[in-house]
C-alpha cells in the first residue's frame, strides 16, 4: 500500500469521527486492491478485502478464472456495466448496473466470472464467524430494484432506519452504497458497538469533514459516533461499519478462517471440489 500500515489511535468520540488511515491501494491493470487480509483487513475486520474495478476500455471481455474460497463471503457490487458469474454449487447469473451478488463460501466453493467493459464495480470479502465459516456454501443475487433504499443509501448488507437488506449476512455489520449530489449533506449514525467504519470512493470528492477523494479508501477512528458527509462534487461511495471481528485471521491463498483447524478443513474441502471440477472437465 502507498501508506504505511499502522493501528489507528483512539479518539475522544465527542470530537467527532476523523480519518485515521487512507490509501489508494495497488493497481493491477483496471483492478485496484484497496484492502487485503494481511494489511488493512486487520484494521477493519470483519471487512478483510476490497477490490475496485474501474475501466472504460471498450475492447475485450476480461475474465476471472476458476478459483476457490473458504471461510469468507464475497459481496460483488456492479455500479456500471454487466458481468456473468458461475459457481461450483451450480448457481450462476448475470449482473447489471446496481445489482449485487452475495456468495457465502463457508467450508468451500469455487467460482468464475467475466465482465463486459466499460464497468465499475467493488468486490468485498467479509470474514465469517465460527458458526458460518464451515457451513454449506450459498449465494443470493439481488437486482437493483430489490435493494432497499434509505435516503441516499442503498442498504446492501445489514440495515439502516426501516431499510433492511434481504441478504443473509452475519449479524453485526452494515454495508451501503451512497450517492450524494454536489453540496448535499448526509449524517450516518452507526448502531451502538459498530466501532469499525470506513469508506471507499468510486467517483467524486467528499468532506467527512476530512477530505476523501475519488479512488481513496479512508478508515475512521474506532467509535460508534456519527459520521458526517458533504459532497464536494457529485459522489458515489461505499460505506462499511461493523462490530469488530474478535478473532485472529488465519490465512490461506484464497481463504480466511478463525482458527488453524478451520483453515485446514476449508482447504481440504476446496481441494476436493477442485478435483471434482477437473474430473467433470469444467476446468483443467
Q: What is the pLDDT of residues 77-122, one digit of tens each?
A: 999 999 999 999 999 999 999 999 999 999 999 999 888 888 899 9
Decide if 18 is inside a domain.
no
At 87 the pLDDT is 95
Decide if 14 is inside a domain.
no
- Residue 82 pairs in a beta bridge with 116
Give the distance between the most distant pair of CA atoms in the chain: 60
Q: Where are the alpha helices (DSSP H) in 46-185?
A: 130-133
Unique residue bearing C-alpha cell 482458527: 259
Q: Render pLDDT for 66-82 as a digit per residue (tens, 0 to 9).
A: 999 999 999 999 999 99
Is the model's pLDDT at 54 over the cut of 90? Answer: no
Q: What percent of the chain has a predicted confidence (pLDDT) above 90? A: 84
Is the model's pLDDT at 15 over the cut of 70? Answer: no
pLDDT band at 40 (very low <50, low <70, confident <90, very high): very high
Instruction: Tell me if 121 sits within 8 A of 78, measured CB to CB.
Output: yes
Decide if 22 is inside a domain.
no
- Mean pLDDT for the chain overall: 91
Average pLDDT over residues 4-21: 57
Instruction: Return the higher-pLDDT residue of 51 and 64.
Output: 51
Decide if 55 is inside a domain.
yes
Decide if 126 is inside a domain.
yes
Domain count within the chain: 1
| Rounded distance between C-alpha atoms, residue 118 and residue 167, angstroms | 27
3-class SS of residue 21: strand
* Angstrom distances, CA of residue 250 to CA of 48, 68, 159, 258, 276: 12, 16, 29, 6, 26
Is the model's pLDDT at 60 over the cut of 50? Answer: no
pLDDT band at 234 (very low <50, low <70, confident <90, very high): very high
At 114 the pLDDT is 86
Minimum mean pLDDT range among 8-22, 92-106, 120-134, 231-245:
8-22
Instruction: Return the higher-pLDDT residue of 53 and 6.
Output: 53
Decide if 7 is inside a domain.
no
- Residue 206 pairs in a beta bridge with 212, 231
At 13 the pLDDT is 35
Decide if 20 is inside a domain.
no
Domain containing 198 equals: 29-279
Average pLDDT over residues 53-76: 79
Is the model's pLDDT at 10 over the cut of 70? Answer: no
Is the model's pLDDT at 58 over the cut of 80? Answer: no
| Rounded distance between C-alpha atoms, residue 60 and residue 284, angstroms | 23
Decide if 136 is inside a domain.
yes
At 172 the pLDDT is 98
- For residue 94, give the CATH number of its domain: 2.60.120.10
Average pLDDT over residues 220-244: 97
Amino acid at each position: 500500500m502507498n501508506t504505511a500500515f499502522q493501528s489507528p489511535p483512539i479518539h475522544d468520540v465527542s470530537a467527532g469521527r476523523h480519518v485515521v488511515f487512507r490509501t489508494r491501494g495497488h493497481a493491477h491493470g483496471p483492478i485496484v486492491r484497496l484492502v487485503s487480509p494481511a494489511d488493512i483487513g486487520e484494521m477493519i475486520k470483519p471487512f478483510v478485502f476490497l477490490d475496485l474495478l474501474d475501466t472504460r476500455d471498450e475492447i475485450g471481455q476480461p475474465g476471472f478464472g476458476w478459483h476457490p474460497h473458504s471461510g469468507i463471503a464475497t459481496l460483488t457490487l456492479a455500479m456500471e456495466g454487466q458481468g456473468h458469474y458461475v459457481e461450483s454449487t451450480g448457481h450462476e447469473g448475470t449482473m447489471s448496473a446496481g445489482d449485487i451478488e452475495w456468495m457465502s463460501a463457508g467450508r468451500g466453493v469455487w467460482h468464475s466470472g467475466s465482465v463486459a467493459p466499460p464497468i465499475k464495480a467493488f468486490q468485498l470479502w467479509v470474514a465469517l464467524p465460527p458458526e458460518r465459516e464451515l457451513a454449506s456454501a450459498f449465494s443470493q443475487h439481488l437486482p437493483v430494484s430489490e435493494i432497499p433504499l434509505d435516503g441516499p443509501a442503498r442498504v446492501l448488507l445489514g440495515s439502516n432506519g426501516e431499510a433492511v437488506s434481504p441478504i443473509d449476512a452475519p449479524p453485526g455489520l452494515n454495508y451501503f452504497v451512497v450517492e450524494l449530489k454536489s453540496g448535499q449533506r448526509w449524517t450516518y449514525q452507526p448502531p451502538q458497538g459498530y466501532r469499525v467504519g470506513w469508506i471507499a470512493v468510486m467517483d467524486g470528492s467528499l468532506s467527512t469533514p476530512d477530505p476523501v477523494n475519488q479512488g481513496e479508501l479512508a478508515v475512521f477512528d474506532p467509535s460508534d459516533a456519527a459520521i458526517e458527509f458533504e459532497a464536494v462534487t457529485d459522489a458515489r461511495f461505499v460505506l462499511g461499519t461493523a462490530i469488530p471481528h474478535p478473532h485472529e485471521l488465519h490465512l490461506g491463498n484464497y481463504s480466511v478462517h478463525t482458527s488453524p483447524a478451520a483453515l485446514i478443513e476449508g482447504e481440504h474441502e476446496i481441494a476436493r471440489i477442485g478435483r471434482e471440477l477437473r474430473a467433470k472437465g469444467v476446468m483443467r
